[in-house]
Amino acid sequence: MPSKPKTVDTTKATKAALYAARKVLTRDAQEELQLRIPFDVYFQDPALRTLRRNFDFDETFDVPWEPGIGDGPTSARFAVVDYDSSAETLAPPATWDAENNVFTDTNGVPLNKANIASPQYRQVNVWATLQNALDFYENGFGLGRRIPFGFEGNRLIVVPNAGYGENAYYDRDSKSLQFYYFDSGEKRIYTSLSADIINHEFGHAVLDGLRPLLAESVSAETAAVHEFFGDLSAILIAFRNNKLRKWLAAETGGDLSVDSALSNLAEEFGGAVQNQPYLRSALNKLRYSSIKDDQRQHYMSQVLTGAMFDIVQRLSRHYMKRGRTLGEAFWHTIRRMQCMAIQPLDLLPPVDVTFEDYALAVLRNEEIVNPTDPDGYRQMMIDVFLEREVLSPETGRKLREPHDVFTRLRTQVYHHAADIASSRAAAYRFLDDNRSALFIPYSADIAVQDLSTAVKLTADARRQPRQVLLQYTWREDVVLEGGRFGQFAGETTSMLCGGTLALDIDGNLLSWMRKPGTQPLMGKGADESAEEQGGALRKEAFLNALAARIKAGRIGEIAGGELGILEKTVAPLTANKVGGILRFSLSPHVGIHSDEHDEMGESQWQISS
Amino acid sequence: MADKLLIRAYNVGCGDCIYVRIPKARKKDGEVDDFHMLIDCGSKAGEAVLKAALNLLKPELPLANGKRRLDLVVLSHEHEDHMKGFNPLFFEDVAIENIWLSAAMNRKHPQSKIARAFHNLAETAMRNVAKRRVALSPALQEMVSLYSISNESAVKTLTETLPEQNGIAPVYVHSDSKAAELNLKTLVGDVAFTILGPDYNIDYYYMGDEGAIDLRAFSEAAAGVLASGRAPADVQPGNISSLDFRRLQSRMMSNAFAYTAKDSTLINNTSIMLLIGWRGRRLLLVGDAEWEGTFVDGQHNGAWNVAWKRQRAKLDQPVDFLKIGHHGSTNATPWNDKEDRTVTEASTILDAILPLPAGNMPKSGPKAVVSTARTPYDVIPRSTLLVEIAKRVSNTKIYAPLLSPAQIQGLPNYVGFEEALLGEPQPQRTDMETLVTGKPYVDIEIEPAAGH
């Protein structure tokens, strides 16, 4: 067992002062000053404990301390509520012992690997895993900012023993992550003990916070982006773990192209439910052309997960070739991957994100962070995306053409980036003053979807200039004409349009990803014409995607009430009316199941009577 | 006309109440008479509509010793839309000679112990939910009502009251039941009753090898609801608001309902699938038997898939009449519900029993009827399924031009679910026929096959 640093006791006031200054303290210093809370979490899940002796708990794991931690556990962004919907019982919460910097069970016994039988152990295991994941997204190697949630409020409710069932969910409507348990033979499987499952579900919550309008997309590909992000999060957060990387180095000899605890997702769950050693694997050779007409979002998502895992492998080989030890090579790989995969989220358009959008955001972010690219990372990533057909050859060629890395945004009315960042109202005036230059139709009622600033780091921990991130959207009415829209024929729905602008604080244009509409633009030049053409193509794709969803019987109703939602009747996409306009939304429960039971067509959504 | 077999489907809303008269198929004490059958008598609507249907039926039945005679009553399965009308008061003036129930209803059937235990759990769960008087969506409310006390009294009527009144014992039928076991002593002539489902081995084919695990999982999953009809004590976590907690509870996967939905499917799948052979004709009445993807040995399967596997020789031939299952629901008539022309087990079954005609459908072609009423769900009845069946049967109608604007306006969910396809041929529907003809039933007449 690795030795832990000696800790230093401080007064409450001193600890708060140190907390305020934590960004300038090293990790070791934070541990000594008890600004981190040690907790023995399960590696991956309990199955690994059986598979690999001595590979069970991570005793080196700790999570950031914060002043508001309390019983539950409860912290700034999470509230653990141990309600079991099967037994209809509420288990007592873990108690926070501030003096000893530890959670204890109802008998005052500290919760650690010696006390896993306590019901409170799972409460703290899931909370600690989530605190760690939150830090992964928010720290400078990630988004470099605090992230919002996609619901009203800021605390995500976490239910570690939600009831009996082979699933786990993110549910925006109840602001919660729900982790169910089930029996496999004589063994009880708790999904709240699987780091992969927790991180996958939290990935949904994070993406829903960053891009809440993705839930309104009718495109199966956008639903697949959600699943991809869940899986990618699970893989990268696992790889971020020091002990796991060491073990992986020993296990694989550096060859990540073999089945490993990294590429395999949710081992215990997969073993119990699907009789295979994982739920999904990032090791696949799927290409975009083989999934583009599919409807199964988990299956589709593997193309992008596979592509990002290809990048992980190539990076690690690159570092090994440069003479790094395996451990070092893996460390450099994950630190760069965190920047490469997480930072681009801030560049994604606010609606209808496609695989190509994500690839372009990844490549653009890499260019911003590493404009000279002496190691050819960007070229390597273009190769991967081309091989997976996520980018077209034409796009690949254009990306490889020499071009200016940083340009200015051409506007009619100048607004300083700091002014734009000052408020949503100010951001709106910037957009409205520049409708023509920003390709926003005069008739569009623009909504500022999100506005934030971020300070991101490069992979070698250099501070990037402060970023201003602005998402804006508008809606266009679309009438559904023709039999292919089935029961929705004749109804009006809306197509979401908009863009994400990323500027640095000096006004350089970092990125501008748009989803154009079809309303006439104010200017009449070639750029406007291309934008309008893009809008027409989008509308066609929107209608085709919706018709395909209807044909596949993937739109249903939700049968719910005070006693809960009946999972069987929750279709992947649901329809409801807001002010007479049809609005679609991805299933409110974004679960971990594979698509196997999604292939029955519509009959599964109905209740037998 | 007297030579024709009559099938009369009463319009009882969303439910089945079907009278079958087989000419000259009864002989007792040397006297030949028609054979009179009632298959199901239930509805999701109130009892009044069923009482009215029975009052219309009774004059059709022969009088004997001051009572109307039914030679055979068949209950396909124990759901209210098939049995709510079995109130002893409605049958006081009816003499019943035989009662057939699904083997799945037999408490002593050795091969349905797990299915029965599963059903009991569902019943306990739903009755406890009912006691709690909580707000439920219409779909969940409907599920609760499937297990109401009134169902129990209908079961008691058929298993105890009516048998005692008539001095008979109910026969629990399955696909291995022999003619002698079926005990139809008065049936004569060129008539054969064949049971295609349920299979004798109910637990194995409809629950699967893992039926016992399902049972355990159900108990685990719905422990609270199974234990008590009272809402749990008012507990409240200290770290979220009571409003958030209430919303959380309401959004959590409702296991009692999830497993009860499974039981409800099981009950449908153990429907009596009755094939009546009469003078060269094949009439198939299937209750609410469901289909699923493809038969898999050792797993839970749909009734149609089990029949296709186990009774293939009997099922794999065209029929002359189909009582469309489950009120026209998409999951009760085997078909390719994706409508993408892929050949599946389900589409193969449909092609076998109702093949697409090579040219125009002859007037003497097969017939079908659906007892239905538009529900709030687009899958019951599924208009596209009805249009598909209409391509394969001869008694179709285009209802749109036959309905007045006021009638159309009065159709529930017309715009959403009916408008698009009411202008296409559909098999005769009890709901539409009443609007068009004013009659509270649909008559289907079957002539003997040539040479029979």
Asked if A157's CB is within 8 angstroms of B415's CB, the reply is no
Q: pTM, whole model, 2 decimals?
A: 0.84
User: Average pLDDT for residues A420-424, to the nearest whole number?
Assistant: 97
Cα separation of B122 and B264, whole Å? Answer: 9
CA distance A432 to B310: 70
Taking only the tens place, the pLDDT of each residue in A73-93 is 999 999 999 999 998 899 999
Beta partners for residue A171, in sequence order: A176, A589
Q: Is A352 helix (H, G, I), strand (E, B) or coil?
A: coil
Nearest chain A residue (CA) to B212: A185
Q: Does B221 sit within 8 Å of A90, measured CB to CB? A: no
* DSSP codes, B360-390: SPPTTS-EEEE-----SSTTTT-HHHHHHHH
CA dist., res. B65 & res. B95, Å (int): 9
B360: Cβ contacts below 8 Å, ≥ 6 apart = none
Count of alpha carbons within 13 angstroms of residue B274, beta-carbon side = 26
Residue A3 pLDDT greater than 60, yes or no: no
What is the bridge-based pairing of β-strands B99-102 and B63-64? Answer: unpaired
Tens of pLDDT, residue by residue over B135-184, are: 777 777 888 888 887 888 999 999 999 999 999 999 999 999 998 899 89
d(CA B336, CA B293): 10
**Distance, CA of A131 to CA of A142 (rounded, Å):** 14
Q: Give whole-number Cα distances, B92 to B12, B87, B162, in Å.
A: 21, 9, 9
| pLDDT (mean) for A166-188 | 88
Residue A604 clears pLDDT 60, i.e. is over it: no
Q: Taking CB atoms and an 8 Å cutoff, what residues of chain A touch B292?
A: 600
Q: Which stretch of DSSP H or E encloses residue A467?
A: strand A467-479
Using 50, 70 and 90 to split pLDDT, how confident is the model at A4? low
- Does residue A31 have a pLDDT over 90? no
Residue B217 with chain A: CB contacts under 8 Å: 164, 182-183
Which A residues, 550 through 589, put their C-beta within 8 Å of a C-beta on chain B?
Answer: 551-553, 557-569, 588-589
Alpha carbon distance, N-terminus to C-terminus of chain A: 58
Q: What is the spatial distance between Cα A176 and Cα A255, in angstroms, rounded to a whole number?
A: 38
| Ramachandran sector of residue B24 (left: φ over 0; alpha: ψ -120 to 50; beta: rest) | left
Packed helices A355-369 and A297-321: angle between N→C axes, nearest 10 degrees: 30
What is the predicted pLDDT for the residue at A549?
81
A111: tokens are 């919760």
Instruction: Give the pLDDT confidence of A138-161 residue by residue, as tens digits.
Output: 999 999 999 999 999 999 999 999
Within 8 A by CB and 6+ apart from A558, the residues are: A565, A569, A570, A574, A588, B137
Q: Per the CB < 8 Å rule, is B238 touching A71?
A: yes
> Tell me, what's the pLDDT at A590?
55
**Residue among B36, B19, B143, B183 at smallest CA distance from B85:** B19
Q: Is residue B1's pLDDT more than 70?
A: no
pLDDT at residue A12, rounded to an integer: 86
Question: Are B403 and B435 contacting, i.e. CB atoms less than 8 angstroms apart?
Answer: yes
For residue range B50-70, what is the model confidence (pLDDT) as tens digits? 999 999 999 999 998 899 999
| Rounded Cα distance, A560 and B140, in Å | 7
The β-bridge relationship of strands B426-429 and A102-104 is unpaired
**Whole-number pLDDT of residue A601:** 42
The more confidently predicted of residues B398 and B217 is B398
Assigned architecture for domain A37-194+205-210: Roll (3.10)
Beta carbons of B187 and B26 less than 8 angstroms apart? yes
Q: Summarize the confidence of residues A243-250 as an average pLDDT.
A: 80
CA distance A494 to A516: 13
Q: What is the pLDDT at residue A186?
A: 80
Predicted complex: ipTM over 0.90: no
Q: How much is the mean pLDDT over chain A? A: 87
Residue B411 has pLDDT above 90, yes or no: no
Domains and CATH numbers, chain B: 5-109+153-204+269-446 (3.60.15.10)
Residues of B in contact with A569 (CB under 8 A): 139
Partner B contacted by A96 (CB < 8 A): no
A264: left (phi over 0), alpha (psi -120 to 50) or beta: beta
In this predicted model, what pLDDT tens digit does every residue of B384-394 receive, in sequence order?
A: 999 999 999 99
Mean pLDDT of the region A449-457? 96
Task: Give the tokens for residue B154.
Answer: 């209908």
Per the model's pLDDT, the better-predicted residue between A356 and B46 turns out to be A356
Kindly list the distances between the CA atom of residue A204 and the CA atoms of A176, A228, A501, A590, A592, in Å, as whole numbers in the listed order.
Answer: 11, 10, 23, 7, 10
Total residue length of chain B:
452
Closest CA to B126 of B110, B142, B137, B111: B142
Interface of A with B in 142-171 (CB under 8 A): 153, 155, 157, 159, 162-165, 167, 169, 171
Do B426 and B397 form a contact (C-beta atoms < 8 A)?
yes
Task: Indicate the pLDDT class of residue B312, thresholds 50, 70 and 90.
Answer: very high
Give Rg (Cα) of chain A.
24
Q: Which of B76, B234, B253, B329 to mutate to test the interface with A (most CBs of A within 10 A)?
A: B253
Q: What mean pLDDT value characterizes chain B?
A: 92
Contact B346, B353 (CB under 8 A): no
| pLDDT tens-digit readout, A187-201 | 888 889 888 889 999
Closest residue, chain A, to B326 (C-alpha): A609
**CB atoms A81 and B248 under 8 Å:** yes
CA distance B202 to A87: 30
Domain range annotation of chain A: 37-194+205-210, 215-403, 407-539, 552-609
CA–CA gap between residue B266 and residue B184 (Å, rounded) = 28
What is the rounded CA–CA span in Å between residue B85 and residue B77? Answer: 13
CATH fold label, A215-403: Neutral Protease; domain 2 (1.10.390)
| Residue among B43, B110, B105, B127 at smallest CA distance from B327 | B43
Q: Rounded to whole angstroms, what are the CA distances from B131 to A478, A497, B119, B226, B258?
A: 46, 49, 18, 12, 19
Distances from the Cα of A506 to the Cα of A414, A448, A509, B350, B427, angstroms: 13, 21, 9, 69, 71
Nearest alpha-carbon partner for B179 in A495, B255, B188 = B188
For A11, residues 6+ apart whose C-beta sits below 8 A from its C-beta are none
Scan residues 338-397 of B and list those with Cβ closer than 8 Å to A: 338-340, 377-380
Q: What confidence tens digit (pLDDT) does each residue in B65-121 have?
A: 899 999 999 999 999 999 999 999 999 999 999 999 999 999 999 999 999 999 999
CB within 8 Å of A90: residues ≥ 6 apart: A81, A82, A83, A84, B235, B236, B237
Q: Which two tokens stand for residue A396?
A: 């690949």
Interface of B with A in 282-301 (CB under 8 A): 288, 290, 292-293
Q: Are B5 and B21 in contact (CB under 8 A)?
A: yes
pLDDT band at A603 (very low <50, low <70, confident <90, very high): very low
- pLDDT surpassing 50 at residue A598: no
Query: What pLDDT shows up at residue A595?
Result: 56
Instruction: At B129, list the tokens.
Output: 């939910």
More confident residue, B59 or A325: B59
Highest mean predicted confidence (pLDDT) among A332-346, A541-555, B362-376, B404-418:
A332-346
